[in-house]
Amino acid sequence: MESASDFSLDYFIFVLIVYTSAIQMGAALGGFSGLSWFRHRSVGFMFSFLVAVVANVWFFNSTDRNVRSVVEGSQQFGFFVGAGFLALVINTAFSSLVRARDFRQNSGPGAAVHGLEALRQTTFFHAVARNFRRK
Amino acid sequence: MSPGASVFLWINGLAGRFAPLDYLMRVIASDYFMIVLMCAIMLVMWFGTSDLKTRERDQKAIICAAIGLGLSNVWVNLINNVYFWPRPFDAGHAVNLIFYRPPDPSFPSNTAAVTFAIATAVFMANRRMGGVFYIMAATMGFSRVFVGVHYPVDILGGAALGSATSFVAFKLFHWSEPLPSCLVWLGRRLYLM
């Protein structure tokens, strides 16, 4: 039988992968190029869908997950929040790195665009840097 | 016989007849599948709407869903501390148990409370997606009866509790202006909304 720590790690990785792919799918559907890892929205959508399916197949088929009290409710909530936060960090950081060259011309000072709308024309790191430069 | 026991026995009697259906129900009834899927869909909704007004409306509903989810959990725990309703397999029924034996009380169903809390909050803002979430919540409720860990009345009780909690949370959230607007302002500053 799998130990509680192995199960917890599997669960954390599962939630992290599913959330990361969900954010990528959202970025593809919403047209937030600066948040997406891919230039083409359709590629981003397909990639995130496949990754989510693979993560589910791996998690539910690698071992029996219906076992008693392995991940308690409060632990589960902690993994939810932790994995969600980490997925957001991974998405913003990775997209900022891999798409930096694509948005280089938009990294200078420009009109103030706040919120997710800014990520249509630039990456997260560029948007934050632009904000600091303006100040 | 407990309320709804005959309905329970009929639904649970379908278990063990067709292995692929048993497998599917075990996955859906799992503590880890449906809630993660619902949260993933909410993340897609959070980022995936190109229209600013629609996105802001959905994002506020998702915040309400998170509040409703947390509060529903609190109510279920409070009820469980006051009253212990035994699970069907502990109540002397001939149960086709194809799941593990949860040690906590049967009524109200925590998973039903949580999934219906999410569905109601989303439904209040987005009827189409809310309908999808209600179908998912109902499917999970059915699967919990199918695998033998809940009576139908547990699911109905949890659904009523979760739905009422999210309905109140949604109304209070929108009455508590300017707090929601402050949250949106902060979220936009962090490039999250």
| Each residue's pLDDT tens digit, A60-107 | 999 888 777 566 666 777 888 899 999 999 999 999 999 988 887 766
Give the gap in angstroms from C-alpha A46 to the nearest C-alpha of chain B: 14
Q: Which of B32, B44, B102 sits opposite A65 (nearest CB)?
A: B32
Domain boundaries in chain B?
5-189
pLDDT in tens, B13-23: 999 999 999 99
CB within 8 Å: A14 and B36 = yes
> Can you spell out the DSSP letters for B170-185?
HHHHHHTTTHHHHHHH
pLDDT in tens, B3-45: 678 999 999 999 999 999 999 999 999 988 999 999 999 999 9
Q: Counting one residue from A and one from B, how many pairs have CB atoms under 8 Å apart?
A: 92
Rounded distance, CA B43 to CA B50, Å? Answer: 14
pLDDT in tens, B119-137: 999 999 999 999 999 999 9
How high is the ipTM of this complex? 0.90
Percent of chain B with pLDDT over 70: 98
Fold exhibited by the domain B5-189: Vanadium-containing Chloroperoxidase; domain 2 (1.10.606)
Question: Which of A97, A67, A71, A96 has its CA nearest to residue A82?
Answer: A71
CB within 8 Å: B30 and A30 = no
**What part of B 99-118 touches A (C-beta under 8 Å)?**
99-103, 110
Write the secondary structure of chain A as one string of H (helix), E (strand) and C (coil): CCCHHHHHHHHHHHHHHHHHHHHHHHHHHHCCCCCCCCCCHHHHHHHHHHHHHHHHHHHHHHCCCCCCCCCCHHHHHHHHHHHHHHHHHHHHHHHHHHCCCCCHHHCCCCCCCCCHHHHHCCCHHHHHHHHHHHC
- Is the pLDDT assigned to residue B1 strictly greater than 60? no
The arithmetic mean of pLDDT across residues B139-151, rounded, is 97
Kindly list the residues of chain A whose beta carbon comes within 8 Å of any beta carbon in chain B.
Answer: 11, 14-15, 18-19, 21-23, 25-32, 35, 52, 56, 59-60, 65-69, 71, 73, 76, 80, 84, 88, 92, 114-119, 124, 127-128
